[in-house]
């Protein structure tokens, strides 16, 4: 795969911006600031951020990735000042103990740590310990009373793992928000590349809200914009580490081996084949992953735009939904280059009904 030209500053800014579902505004501000240099930028009432390049001709291609990350909200505060939480998205409670968190209050960020039971108590518990639930955990902000804690935070304040961006060896990066800031990077980097290719076709990049919870952003966009072609960009589980393998994850996916094209029951088969052809022509290696039903991504909701051919492209990630999701920079940039080439070819070769079944 060609050497990465990843814009590290943009990707880092995206990963460090807090944005659990329903609280994505800091991420969208990063997106808007970047996109205004080359595109028309707008936001809708739900919080989706949109940017457009090109003309008004067909096809209208929408590239969508979700801005939100998993997290929690402050649900209650006890008399000693400890915070109880309610989950936002698939936050695994057993990952909380001993980790650093930030409560994003109206007064500013408040550092917190998740409590941890003493090891000498835990070691005497039954070995058949079941996964914990969120109500068994608490955050410690250093307060000694409920009143002191509530002077710092409020009920309903969003909570995330402490933002972090680490450069690892071999062009890999770790952050708790790679899912799906890698996808947001791809969508808007693709738009930036497409902006340098004058065309009558219209390309829209969308940073959507609420994917980790109720998919509200993607659902609304599919119905409002009615694009001709939809490309959902997300991350997918890599299988190249000791805890899992291809069998458990229904297919082999490696970091550094290129974008992952999803082939599934309801994703457009002709658009998938077209993307494979473009990747081969551009010399961009791709991986293929199969999905027999729902993909659990925005693609499922974007397909409600009945006139749109829909595909899902993913960036491989290790340790998804953890405080340290790991991604390869080459995969991110290669995905953007593939989609930019795909948009160019779609504009050049477009004809009505080209992705519809031939009956």
Cα separations (Å) of 21 from 142, 179, 210, 226, 275? 26, 12, 5, 24, 30
Cα separations (Å) of 138 from 75, 93, 189, 259? 10, 10, 39, 38
Name the DSSP letter for residue 169. G
CA dist 190 and 2 (Å) reads: 17
Q: Are 313 and 275 in contact, with CB atoms under 8 Å apart? A: yes
**Tokens 């991420």 identify what position?**
27
Could you say which of 192, 211, 212, 301 is catalytic?
Answer: 211
The residues pairing with 260 across neighbouring beta strands, listed in sequence order, are 287, 314
Q: Is 269 helix (H, G, I), strand (E, B) or coil?
A: helix
Q: Are 298 and 209 in contact, with CB atoms under 8 Å apart? A: no
Active site residue 211: yes
Cα separations (Å) of 270 from 26, 28, 109, 353? 37, 32, 47, 11
Q: How far is CA 2 from the centre of its chain?
A: 24
CA dist 113 and 219 (Å) reads: 35
Residues serving a catalytic function are: 211
């Amino acid at each position: 795969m060609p050497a990465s030209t990843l814009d590290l500053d943009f990707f880092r800014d995206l990963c460090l911006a807090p944005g659990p579902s329903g609280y994505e505004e800091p991420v969208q501000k990063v997106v808007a600031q970047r996109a205004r240099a080359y595109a028309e930028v707008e936001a809708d009432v739900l919080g989706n951020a949109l940017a457009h390049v090109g003309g008004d001709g067909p096809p209208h291609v929408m590239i969508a990735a979700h801005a939100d990350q998993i997290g929690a909200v402050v649900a209650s505060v006890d008399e000693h000042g400890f915070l109880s939480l309610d989950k936002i998205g698939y936050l695994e409670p057993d990952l909380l103990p001993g980790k650093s968190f930030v409560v994003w209050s109206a007064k500013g960020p408040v550092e917190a740590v998740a409590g941890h039971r003493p090891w000498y108590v835990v070691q005497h518990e039954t070995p058949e310990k079941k996964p914990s639930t969120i109500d068994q955990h608490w955050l410690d902000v250093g307060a000694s009373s409920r009143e002191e804690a509530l002077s710092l935070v409020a009920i309903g304040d969003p909570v995330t793992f402490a933002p972090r961006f680490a450069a690892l060896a071999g062009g890999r990066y770790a952050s708790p928000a790679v899912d799906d800031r890698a996808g947001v990077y791809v969508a808007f980097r693709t738009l930036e590349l497409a902006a340098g290719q004058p065309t009558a076709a219209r390309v829209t990049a969308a940073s959507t809200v609420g994917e980790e919870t109720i998919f509200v952003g993607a659902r609304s966009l599919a119905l409002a914009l009615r694009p001709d072609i939809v490309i959902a960009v997300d991350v997918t589980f890599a299988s190249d580490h000791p805890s899992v393998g291809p069998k458990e994850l229904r297919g082999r996916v490696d970091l550094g081996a290129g974008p992952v094209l999803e082939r599934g029951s309801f994703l457009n088969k002709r658009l998938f084949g077209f993307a494979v052809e473009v990747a081969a022509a551009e010399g961009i290696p791709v991986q293929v992953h199969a999905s027999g039903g729902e993909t659990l991504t925005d693609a499922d909701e974007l397909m409600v735009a009945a006139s749109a051919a829909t595909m899902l492209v993913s960036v491989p990630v290790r340790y998804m939904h953890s405080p340290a999701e790991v991604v390869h920079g080459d995969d991110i940039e290669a995905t953007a280059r593939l989609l930019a080439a795909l948009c160019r070819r779609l504009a050049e070769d477009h004809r009505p009904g080209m992705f519809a079944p031939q009956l």
